[in-house]
Chain A
Amino acid sequence: MIGRDYSHDDELRATKVHVTQGESHVSTDPNVVMTTVLGSCIAACIRDPQAGVGGMNHFLLPDAGDGRSGSGGDAVRYGAYAMELLINGLLKKGARRERLEAKIFGGGKLFDSLSDVGASNAAFAERFLRDEGIPIVSSSVGGVSARRVEFWPVTGRVRQRLVAVDNAPQEVRRPAPIPQPASNAGDLELF
């Protein structure tokens, strides 16, 4: 995917794949570790333990979201699409839907405001996974800190470090949703 940062970490002897907002990545390589930094965004780490394939996405609903009511707003459609991209990527690499399990991270409230975007994002992710029958085997959401997350997709191991707001990168402190193209953007002139 465009913009993905691959680097080799000698200490971990692993190939790091940094997953930024709007991306998702899937791997069957035991030497890959996926990393991300989260504020109010959510990262879902989903894997099939039997097939040895796992992946991570990183998304922010485009507005306060409506994950609780599930009314079908644009925000929920965007979030569902982010999850679908990851799940389809896993299925293409041999995962079976009924064996998938998830860990979710993020959804923090890093600054004072009336709305809690992080909580809406976390509620969306939890509801989506429940509705799709994908168990959440562990999660760390909410709070007032940013999170640095490392995920080993084959083993499912996760390492998380909380980061004080002041030390978090600017894009993590005040993330902006990735603008979505207009509904007809990218259309092919076939009709």
Chain B
Amino acid sequence: MPQASSISVLVVDDQLTMRALIRNALQQIGFKDIREAPDGEEALKNLLAKPANLVISDFNMPKMDGLALLRAVRSHPPIRQTAFVMLTGRADRELVQRAVQFGVNNYCVKPFTVQGLRDKIEQVFGQLT
């Protein structure tokens, strides 16, 4: 079983409050290596400079939205394998289907609970310790 503390995470959301809430939820789950970016463009730069094991990204963001970030991640060989969980405002079928086409690993509907986020991450990595 993977240890949450050994998984590095990049949180991408244009709202500072939402980033803080996601970080807090991840810390409750046991994650320790958590970085943040305010939009897809910054996130891509961040990942190319220092890869992460997991990206948790909002969809609606300025400059580069979550879907464009996902496509960019999947098209850059050094970071192509990064696990990617998309946060959506609602279960938007079309958005989720497009994200699946582009290789998203899972998605989580806001407003999420800590357990809900944990479940989504465990569906990707297996049960976390």
Interfacial chain A residues near B106, Cβ < 8 Å: 191
Q: Which of B20, B100, B112 contacts A183 (CB 8 A)?
A: B112
Main secondary structure of the interface of B (DSSP, over half): helix
Chain B 1-58 interface residues, beta-carbon cutoff 8 Å to A? 14-18, 20-21, 23-25, 28
Q: Chain B 92-109 against A: per-residue CB contact (8 Å), 1 yes, 0 no?
A: 010011001000001011
> Which of A38-46, A84-92, A101-109, A152-160 faces chain B?
A84-92
- Contact in complex: B15, A84 (CB < 8 Å): yes
- Contact in complex: B17, A78 (CB < 8 Å): no
- Contact in complex: A78, B111 (CB < 8 Å): yes
Interfacial chain A residues near B24, Cβ < 8 Å: 71-72
**A5 close to B (CB within 8 Å):** no
**B76 close to A (CB within 8 Å):** no
- Contact in complex: B116, A184 (CB < 8 Å): yes
Interfacial chain A residues near B14, Cβ < 8 Å: 97
Interfacial chain B residues near A180, Cβ < 8 Å: 111
* Cα distance A72–B109 in the bound complex, in angstroms: 16
Q: How far is the CB of B97 from chain A (nearest CB, A)?
A: 7
Q: Which of B17, B20, B62, B114 has the most CB of A within 10 A?
A: B17
Of all A-B residue pairs in the complex, the 8 with the closest CB atoms, nearest first, are A183-B116, A72-B24, A186-B91, A81-B111, A77-B111, A183-B113, A78-B111, A88-B60
- Taking Cβ atoms with an 8 Å cutoff, the residues of A that contact B are 70-72, 74, 76-78, 80-81, 83-85, 87-88, 91-92, 97, 128, 131-133, 180-188, 190-191
Other 8 A-B pairs with CB < 8 A, given A70-B20, A84-B18: A72-B20, A80-B111, A128-B17, A133-B16, A182-B116, A183-B113, A186-B90, A190-B96
